[in-house]
Amino acid sequence: MKIFIDSADLKEIEKYLSWGICDGVTTNPTICLKCGVTGGLEGIKKRTIEIAKLIRPCPVSAEVTTDNIEEVISQAKEYSQWAENVVVKVTVIDRQGDSLLPAIYKLLSEGVRVNVTTIMTFNQAILASKAIEAGLKNNPKAKIPNFISIFAGRISEEQGVEQAAKVIKNTRQWLDFHQYHGIEIIVGSIRSPENVELWSRSGAHILTIPPQVIAKSSLAARTKETVSQFINDAQKSLTQMEKM
């Protein structure tokens, strides 16, 4: 299983690269704003290119800012030129509830890597996967993997964490059964270490984890206490050994 860092902060990303746990990065304009990016789309472009260079060849997802199909296609094509490891985030539907699969299918057919996002149901997941797979078949030179992002945190808020796990598990089984090897499941909107534990065992290829959740996941009170005991005991033992 891979971990994608949900951040646009270069220092944070460098930190988790140094830990050996960063397999990719996901961003959006809101994340960029929180991480101090300025200058509108040009600022996002500059930061995305910096991230892409930093983590190459791992992917960085950049999100389109429209749900108009023609504009989605145009923006996605532009973003894909920023760096070879840029993947474009496109929502599965628009604000009116109409499908954006036509845009996704066209982008894959033209060689643009996508991350189909805001997926909340098994049905949305398999339809998005079908569109991606069809686009890949149209373009044998298309890059893989492409991604479907299941928003497990939002599912769990409405229907419980077990339902979120069920959607992930059923989608993974479906992808494996039909041998859709060019598609990976990203689980997003992770809120807690408990989410990390449950959903990493539910068949996700990737967890997108915010830095604050990574920090909490690396800690345990009992472990901290035990480390302190080990170090203190070791230092006392060394002192006694030096006196012998």
Question: Where does the pLDDT of residue 168 fall: very low under 50, low under 70, confident under 90, or very high at 90 and above?
Answer: very high
> Can you give the CATH number for the domain in which 12 is found?
3.20.20.70
With respect to residue 157, please indicate whether it lies within any of the assigned structural domains. Answer: yes
With respect to residue 231, please indicate whether it lies within any of the assigned structural domains. Answer: no
Residue 211, preceding peptide bond in cis (omega within 30° of 0): no
Q: Is the pLDDT of residue 221 over 80?
A: no
Question: Where does the pLDDT of residue 21 fall: very low under 50, low under 70, confident under 90, or very high at 90 and above?
Answer: very high
With respect to residue 234, please indicate whether it lies within any of the assigned structural domains. Answer: no
Q: Which of 175, 174, 176, 216 is CA-nearest to residue 195?
A: 216
Residue with the bigger pLDDT between 46 and 220: it is 46
Tens of pLDDT along 78-123?
999 999 999 999 999 999 999 999 999 999 999 999 999 999 999 9
Name the percent of the chain lying above pLDDT 70: 100
User: How many other C-beta atoms lie within 10 A of the C-beta of residue 120?
Assistant: 19
Question: Where does the pLDDT of residue 222 fall: very low under 50, low under 70, confident under 90, or very high at 90 and above?
Answer: confident
pLDDT in the model for residue 115: 98
Rounded Cα distance, 204 and 3, in Å: 10
- The single residue listed with the structure tokens 């389109």 is 64
Q: What does the pLDDT average to over 8-27? A: 96
pLDDT in the model for residue 39: 95
With respect to residue 86, please indicate whether it lies within any of the assigned structural domains. Answer: yes
With respect to residue 240, please indicate whether it lies within any of the assigned structural domains. Answer: no
As to burial, measured by CB atoms within 10 angstroms (0-12 exposed, 13-18 middle, 19+ buried), residue 215 is exposed
Output the CA torsion sign for 174, 177, 183, 188.
positive
With respect to residue 144, please indicate whether it lies within any of the assigned structural domains. Answer: yes
Question: 128: which 2 tokens?
Answer: 């998005």
What contacts 35, CB < 8 A, 6 or more positions away? Answer: 7, 8, 9, 12, 47
Q: What does the pLDDT average to over 178-185? A: 95
Question: Where does the pLDDT of residue 227 fall: very low under 50, low under 70, confident under 90, or very high at 90 and above?
Answer: confident
Question: 19: which 2 tokens?
Answer: 């830990």
Rounded Cα distance, 47 and 32, in Å: 8
The parent domain of residue 30 ranges over 2-210
With respect to residue 241, please indicate whether it lies within any of the assigned structural domains. Answer: no
- The single residue listed with the structure tokens 């260079």 is 53
**Within 81-203, where are the H helices?**
101-109, 122-138, 152-159, 161-177, 193-200
Single-letter amino acid code for the residue at 97: G
Q: Is the pLDDT of residue 233 over 90?
A: no
Alpha carbon distances (Å) from 38 to 32, 50, 77, 183: 8, 14, 22, 33
pLDDT in the model for residue 109: 96
> How many domains is the chain built from?
1
With respect to residue 187, please indicate whether it lies within any of the assigned structural domains. Answer: yes
Q: Which residues are catalytic?
A: 89
Q: Is the pLDDT of residue 209 over 80?
A: yes
Rounded Cα distance, 137 and 90, in Å: 20
